[in-house]
Chains A and B, each alone.
Chain A
Amino acid sequence: MSKILYIVDDNKNSDYKYEIEEDTIIYHYSINSSSNVEINMNKEDITLYYYYNNINYDDNELRISVNHNKNNTHSELYNHGVNVKNKILTYYVNGIVPKSSSKCICNQENQIINMNNGKSTICPNLLIDNYDVDSNHGAYIGKFSEEKLFYLMSRGINREDSYKLLLNSYLINSDSIDLNKIERFIKEIDKI
């Protein structure tokens, strides 16, 4: 059983530091906020899932670093953002595996959807100092796929409602989330 943590940021700048020693899932929901997150994986054989979901209106950034301080630690980061206005949104995402940590898995997937003509940047950094690490990253910045919108609209759903379906699936991307804990964030999705 994993430890589950929820973070909901609403128009604030925050620093978070976690020292984790057990399997952990962190759901981080951010409304127009900047965050600086440091996570230290301090025990062997533990797994971290980090889901960052962000609605952005002004200039903001996410800085996240995951330090694999022990052998056989496994991190999976999913960072999803929506840059609503013509503002700047930047993700710096660091996965760090020192030479002293062996057989780690360090993965990250980052996406930012630009709803207008904002400037979005993703800097995915995998700082790996060991030869036996399994590490991958993916980064996408762009619009929602026109093909998906076409499919939804071809069944009679208008463009606005199609966007809403896609936004909900994109920003609330796990079945195991306690929706009561992110009520504020869900309401914000409806405003986009």
Chain B
Amino acid sequence: MLEIKNLNCSIADSDLNILNGLSLKIKEGETHVIMGPNGTGKSTLAKAIMGHYKYNVTKGDILIDKESILGLTVDERAKKGLFLCMQDPTVIEGVSNSEFLRTALASQTGEKVNLYSFITDMEKAMKEVKLDSKMLHRSLNMGFSGGEKKKNEVLQLKVLKPKYIILDEIDSGLDVDSLRIVCENINDYMKENKEASLLIITHYPRILEYLKPDYVHILKDGKIQKSGDISLALEVEKEGYTNIEDTVDE
């Protein structure tokens, strides 16, 4: 279980708190959605969970299977099963997709990766996410379109097999077909890995037509203002965030 307890988080070198007492429990197999107006801390939450250097947790805790991960480095958190599908994946010139993924896979499994089986697995996975296999040999995210970058994130997810997946606006900048491909692959992954759980950060309910959530949470002023099911996302789509009342039990 991924548990966020009364999380307060500020930008490094600043006193400004972005998250103010956010609490959330994500159990195995569950899909949670976080929605909220711009600037309320959705991406901050995603990055704080992953241990991004720009954010400081000033109060509260983040736990995986009841153990705090606050003292862990970013790679150690990844090895605990955390995976952040990034909103704008970083371009790294000169590091090929293939080299990167082989290194990541070897780091996560602690074993040397067999080149033949790696290439075979990658070709299959790339076909499934509809990425040209030539992209395996290109620099990481360099010259990739917005859609290709997001598919590449999903490709990494399929290869690294994480347990706690955070999708930070995976739907932004995706056309209808790409969104469908990305979501179908995530759904297949979730079916194959029953213990995996999803935290989806989004502005639009459109993605929820593909990825069915168990819970929808509205984030406002750095904490969860209201929780519900998919009908809450549809209400937001219709009415906006202004009329959302605080109904979360502390």
| A, B co-complexed | yes
Q: Could you list 6 examples of A-B contacts with CB < 8 Å?
A: A148-B90, A154-B75, A155-B100, A156-B75, A165-B99, A169-B139
Query: Does the CB pair B103–A157 fall under 8 Å?
Result: yes
Shortest beta-carbon distance from B105 to chain A in Å: 8
Q: Could you tell me if A168 and B94 are in contact, using CB atoms closer than 8 angstroms? A: yes
Interface residue tally of chain B, by bracket?
A: 20 to 34
Q: Kindly identify, within residues 131 to 168 of chain A, every residue whose CB is under 8 Å from any CB belonging to chain B.
A: 146-148, 150-159, 161-162, 165-166, 168
A2 at the interface (CB under 8 A from B): no
CB-contacts of B139-164 with A (<8 A):
139, 156, 160
Q: Which of B90, B100, B160 is close to A147, meaning CB atoms less than 8 Å apart? A: B90
| Residues 76-100 of chain B, each 1 if its beta carbon lies under 8 Å from chain A, else 0 | 0111000110100110111100011
Number of interface residues of A (CB under 8 A): 22
Closest to A162 in B: B75
Does the CB pair B79–A152 fall under 8 Å?
Answer: no
Q: With A150-B53, A156-B79, A156-B108 known to touch, is A166 a contact of B95 (CB < 8 Å)?
A: yes
Pick the 9 closest A-B CB pairs, nearest first.
A169-B94, A153-B74, A156-B78, A151-B90, A155-B104, A156-B108, A153-B75, A156-B107, A169-B95
Q: Which residues of B contact A155 (CB under 8 A)?
A: 75, 78, 83, 100-101, 104, 107-108, 156, 160
Please give the residue numbers on chain A whose beta carbons come within 8 Å of chain B beta carbons, in ascending order: 146-148, 150-159, 161-162, 165-166, 168-170, 172-173
Q: Which of B50, B94, B95, B101 contacts A154 (CB 8 A)?
A: B50
Q: Which residues of B have CB within 8 Å of A156?
A: 75, 78-79, 104, 107-108, 160
Output the nearest chain A residue to B105 by Cβ-Cβ distance: A156
For residue B133, CB closer than 8 A to chain A, the reply is no
Complex Cα spacing A169 to B103, Å: 14
A166-B74 contact, Cβ under 8 Å, with A154-B50, A157-B104 = no
> Contact partner of B92 among A158, A161, A169, A173, CB < 8 A?
A169
Report the Cα distance A66→B92, complex, angstroms: 30
Most B C-beta atoms less than 10 A away, residue of A146, A161, A165, A170 = A165
Partner of A148, one of B83, B92, B103: B92
Chain B residues within 8 Å of A161, by CB? 103, 107
Of the residues B75, B86, B99, contact of A158 by C-beta under 8 Å: B75
User: In the bound complex, how far is the Cα of B139 from the Cα of A162, in angstroms?
Assistant: 15
B187 at the interface (CB under 8 A from A): no
Q: Report A49 CB to chain B, min CB distance, Å.
A: 16
B107 lies within 8 A of A154 (CB): no
Nearest-neighbour CB distance to chain B for A68, whole angstroms, equals: 28
A157 touches B92 (CB 8 A): no
Interface contact A154-B53, CB-CB below 8 Å: no
Report A133 CB to chain B, min CB distance, Å: 27
Are A154 and B78 neighbours in the complex by a CB distance under 8 Å?
yes
Residue of A148, A157, A173 near B107 (CB, 8 A) is: A157
Is B52 an interface residue, CB under 8 A from the partner? yes
Q: In whole angstroms, what is the CA distance A112 to B215 when docked?
A: 49
Q: Which of A151, A152, A153, A157 contacts B86 (CB 8 A)?
A: A151
Per the bound structure, the CA–CA distance linking A83 and B86 in Å amounts to 32
Residues 112-144 of B, flagged 1 when their CB comes within 8 A of A and 0 if not, give 000000000000000000000000000100000
Rounded to whole Å, the gap between the CB of A32 and the closest CB of chain B is 23
- CB <8 Å contact, A170 and B94: yes
Determine which residue in B79, B93, B99, B103 has the highest number of CB atoms from chain A within 10 A of its CB, and name it: B103
